[in-house]
Copies of this chain bind each other. A is one copy, B any other.
Amino acid sequence: MNTIEKAGGRPEAGNPGKAADTGDRVNAHSAVMTFGADEPLALDSGVSLSPFTIAYETYGTLNADKSNVVLICHALTLDQYAASTHPLTGKPGWWPFMVGPGLPIDTDRFFVICQNVVGGCMGTTGPKDNDPKTGKPYGLNFPVITIGDMVRAQAMLLDKLGIGDLFCVIGGSMGGMQVLQWAAAYPDRVFSAIPIATAARHSAQNIAFHEVGRQAIMADPEWKQGGYLSNGTTPGKGLAVARMAAHITYLSETALHRKFGRNLQDRDSVTYGFDADFQIESYLRHQGSTFVDRFDANSYLYLTRAMDYFDLAADYGGVLANAFRGTTSRFCVVSFTSDWLFPTSDNRQIVHALNAVAANVSFVEIRTDKGHDAFLLDEPEMFATLRGFIDSAARTRGLVA
């Protein structure tokens, strides 16, 4: 075991000024924890991952009886920097409306942990790290991981930190899958659970979009069968196309129409060519190219695969309700009317399963035109809902403000 703590959440790169501001306000700490040969991560595939490291951020202060822990589970292309500056982009945390003093996840009251998932590329062990067997980056030799593996690794970190149960586990999209997995695999460790804009199993259409992204990456000759890091190449074009395709699915048609419509980009008329005549083209190209600067192509393959494999009911005899039988956790399920990636029907299936076992569950469908990404945006109704649910749970738990 080897723990390195860096106080103040100051990043190694990016915008130190902003980072310090954010870090001080939420009492941010960056840390990494390494698990040695005697503490392997047992993966669903049957493979053991060892050694491995988890990089994580914490915000706020752990209370004396360790009863105020909130675990934030991040989405596919996000990371542990929920409320601290991203070290590569210099941008502020990705959940600015949700995490901070006085916000729904109140860093003045809660001790918040956000871990980079296994298979990720922001410090936790993933395909870009060295395989101890070869001394070279894993690439495709990295074992395929699942949502269950991500959660098992998170639990190991909490064990190491001496944290038993979680006051709350919360996340959207792939983060919501982890929330469901937590509630199913560790029911006694979850006081409250907030899965947002997610599903208990990935749909055929979503697998299809992921497969397009993976094929775009694998079609890039610079990908080199996953060995690009050893070859000194970067499959940036393929990864950018994957990101562009995925990004469309994160927004709604209405939002795209409102934001861009058929507006032209810095020109009065079309150019009769293949430049980015339309603002939407320019926007998508920008999304693609900036993603390449902060994300690892193989990580994208592994994390999309983990989502595709997620089918919680399959682990419980094909009946989703069985995953939650006997649970005493309280749940708040949130969906968005314009989310077509994880539509309300997917979220409602979770609610039905919870109802079937008489679980304590609230369900809110937020009316918004912002699509799947609404969970990352300024959605006052979502904040009010989550604030009410979290405050109520905190009172029940005896966590007074």
A211 partner residues in chain B, CB cutoff 8 A:
244, 276, 278, 280-281, 284-285
Interface size class of A (residues with CB under 8 A): 35 or more
A248 touches B212 (CB 8 A): yes
**Smallest Cβ-Cβ distance to A144: which chain B residue:** B272
A284 touches B241 (CB 8 A): no
**Shortest CB distance A315–B (Å):** 12
A261–B208 CA distance with the chains assembled, in angstroms: 11
A205-B308 contact given A240-B219, A281-B211, CB 8 Å threshold? no
A238–B273 CA distance with the chains assembled, in angstroms: 19
A270-B309 contact given A208-B284, A212-B248, CB 8 Å threshold? yes
A261 partner residues in chain B, CB cutoff 8 A:
204
B260 touches A204 (CB 8 A): yes
**Shortest CB distance A58–B (Å):** 32
Contacting residue for A215 out of B218, B277, B278, B288, CB 8 A: B288
Main secondary structure of the interface of A (DSSP, over half): helix
A201 touches B262 (CB 8 A): yes
Copies in the complex: 2
Interface string of A204-226 (1 = CB under 8 A from B): 11011101101110111100000
A288–B215 CA distance with the chains assembled, in angstroms: 10
B244 touches A212 (CB 8 A): yes
A18 partner residues in chain B, CB cutoff 8 A:
none
A280 touches B204 (CB 8 A): yes
A274-B305 contact given A203-B253, A244-B212, CB 8 Å threshold? yes
Interface string of A124-152 (1 = CB under 8 A from B): 00000000000000001001100000000
A245 touches B204 (CB 8 A): no
- Tell me, yes or no, whether A25 is within 8 Å of chain B by CB: no
B215 touches A240 (CB 8 A): yes
A265–B205 CA distance with the chains assembled, in angstroms: 16
A205–B340 CA distance with the chains assembled, in angstroms: 13
A259 partner residues in chain B, CB cutoff 8 A:
204
- Tell me, yes or no, whether A169 is within 8 Å of chain B by CB: no
A327–B204 CA distance with the chains assembled, in angstroms: 45
- Considering the complex of A and B, which 3 residue pairs feature the smallest CB-CB distances, nearest first? A219-B237, A45-B272, A144-B272
A and B contact pairs by CB, cutoff 8 A, 17 listed: A44-B272, A45-B272, A203-B256, A204-B253, A204-B259, A204-B260, A204-B261, A209-B245, A212-B245, A212-B248, A212-B284, A219-B237, A219-B238, A219-B241, A221-B221, A277-B308, A340-B340
